[in-house]
Amino acid sequence: MAYVPGYDHDVFVSYAHLDNQGDGAWVSTLVRHLDTEIRQRLGTQDLRLWIDRELDGNHPLTPEIMRAIRRSATIILIVSPSYVASEWCARERNAFLGFARDCVSEGRIFVVRYREIDPQILPPEFGDLIGFKFWTQDHDAGGVARPLGLTDLKEQAYFAAVINLADKLSQKLKEIRTARIAGAPSSAPATVECVFLARSTDDMETREAELVSHLTQAGLRILPETWYREDNEQEFRAAMQADLQRCSVFVQVLGRLPGRRARFAEGRRFPAIQHDIAKEVRKPILQWRDLADDPATIQDEAHRALLEGARAGGFEEFKRAVVEATRRKEQTSRSRAANVAVFVNADRTDLEIARNLSELFAQHGVMSSWPIAEGGPEKIRQDLEENLKACDGLVLIYGATEPSWVRDQLRQGRKILGRRDQPLAGLAIYLGPPPEKPELAVAVPELITLDGRNGVSPAMLRPFVERLTLEP
């Protein structure tokens, strides 16, 4: 019996049979571990995982497989060079690519990266998902990449990855089950505190996996969940800033390696770039390094500065500090939010978004207002000026309106804001539907971007509220 009502299977596992050959049978072992861990997390024996153990790439796609894909609550893709090259797996993928976009938006597809692979060669429907990394570079063997647990099933990093994946699958299955029983859509997950975990260098992968496992057990969500474009600085920064707005803290685990160079930043490396972006948006930063790593021995100047600013000591203490910092920021924001006010400015076509956003600000204890729609031009203009003079924070809605409206509001607002006794504490652009829209082509210092094109939650607004409530 399936755990999620209305489905025949809770989890469908898509993989290349070549990856399950040999004495280890890696895929079967992973599925066995996941099956045990998920059942224990759900507290029930009612769990059905579908995995094909007989067919290979030379067999036709049977109606049974087609039905199993469509009748599964979640899907695991175990991707590898063999998976991409497999004709059988290609047919499996084609069977559900028609609804994969909806599955991705609902968080129902889980990508397991069994071996090193370029994510750009995966189908675009889920190629942007970071997924769950189950491979590492074995430094004892000259840096050769290998799957976790392949040579030692007791490997700490392997079980940390299993626990993380099982936890995310369990959460999603609970969410879908609850929505099914209540008769509600499952695309709106419960609000969860988020932590931005910067990508670690190869020498810190084990520590990163350990931290992810600890934060997951504490009920926190780890961002980013999708790849950022690394060939365009503007898009990289915008994507990272959008994720940072949803997070309470920025966390960085640092080793001796300085990290990869960015093509768009004249040779600067990603650990330093990500740290600077977090600093620009005033995100609380927590960094850790091993006490044995002496910054004075690091040649790269920017990386040496990161190590000098990181706390050195016990990793267990650092893990607890991240959780405590996340909870502390939530309490501080709630206690001080009542003293600030936000003006949510919108064109007539986006007034409904402004009303909805104001309701979410109210959940933070923040007073907010939006433009009046009735009255003559002079009354509307005066109301706009009074709101700009009195507000602590300003949000401009860029939804269905034209970019020229947003640009015009920024130009006009500068004149009124320039006459204030106190400057704005926070300025944000809220991106609403539709997803595709012309570029605004503006650069404003300390501007926060709130990306609500795929939905918004109160947690997403917390960083902006924190900006307003910072002590001067």
Whether 213 and 184 map to the same domain: the answer is no
Are 238 and 281 in contact by the 8 Å Cβ rule? The answer is: no
Query: Domain range for residue 198?
Result: 191-336
Instruction: Verify that 221 and 250 share a domain, yes or no.
Output: yes
Same domain membership, residue 271 and residue 394? no
Tokens of 219: 């009920």
User: Which amino acid appears at position 453 of this protein?
Assistant: R
Identify the domain boundary among 301, 336, 371.
336
* Residues 350, 330 share a domain: no
CA distances from 297 to 125, 207, 292, 301, 404 (A): 44, 21, 11, 10, 52
pLDDT tens, residue by residue, 169-195: 998 999 888 877 766 444 444 457 889
Q: 7-61: per-residue pLDDT in tens? A: 999 999 988 888 888 777 899 999 999 999 999 999 999 999 988 765 444 455 5
C-beta separation of 427 from 394 below 8 A = yes
CA distance 223 to 250: 10
How, if at all, do strands 144-147 and 135-138 pair?
antiparallel
Is-contact 341 234, C-beta < 8 A? Answer: no
Q: What is the pLDDT of residue 457?
A: 66
Considering the domain architecture, whether residues 247 and 182 belong to the same structural domain is answered as no
3-state percent breakdown (helix, strand, coil) of the chain, nearest 5: 45, 15, 35
Please indicate, yes or no, whether residues 380 and 289 belong to a single structural domain of this protein.
no
Taken in order 144, 214, 155, 48, the sign of the CA dihedral is negative
243 CB neighbour count, 10 Å cutoff: 18
Instruction: Give phi and psi for 158, each to the nearest 5.
Output: -65, -50
pLDDT at position 186 is 45
Question: Rounded to an integer, what distance in angstroms lies between the CA atom of residue 45 and that of residue 31?
Answer: 15
Q: Are residues 91 and 29 part of one domain?
A: yes
What is the domain-level CATH number for residue 427? 3.40.50.10140
Q: Are residues 403 and 425 in the same domain?
A: yes
In this structure, are 241 and 306 located in the same domain?
Answer: yes
**In a shared domain, residues 432 and 363:** yes
The 10 Å Cβ neighbour count of residue 436 is: 6
The last residue of one of the domains, among 147, 164, 189, is: 189
Whether residue 298 is found in the same domain as residue 323: yes
Per-residue pLDDT of the chain (472 residues), as tens digits, is: 889 988 999 999 988 888 888 777 899 999 999 999 999 999 999 999 988 765 444 455 566 776 787 789 999 989 888 887 776 566 655 655 665 666 776 788 899 999 888 777 776 666 667 788 898 877 665 668 889 888 777 788 888 889 989 998 998 999 888 877 766 444 444 457 889 999 878 788 888 888 988 888 787 888 888 778 777 888 888 889 988 988 989 999 999 999 988 888 777 899 999 999 999 888 899 999 998 888 889 999 999 999 988 888 789 889 988 998 887 655 554 445 557 899 999 999 999 999 989 888 887 788 899 998 888 888 888 999 899 988 989 999 999 999 999 999 998 888 888 788 788 888 989 988 888 888 888 878 778 888 787 666 666 777 788 778 765 4
Last residue of a domain, one of 144, 167, 189: 189
Looking at the structure, tell me whether residues 62 and 123 fall in a common domain. yes
Q: Which residues pair with 195 in a beta bridge?
A: 222, 249
Q: Are 399 and 373 in contact (CB under 8 A)?
A: no
Instruction: Supply the angle between the helices 233-245 and 270-280 in degrees, to the nearest 10.
Output: 50
* Two tokens, residue 145: 């990449």
Number of domains in the chain: 3
**Residue 203: predicted pLDDT:** 81
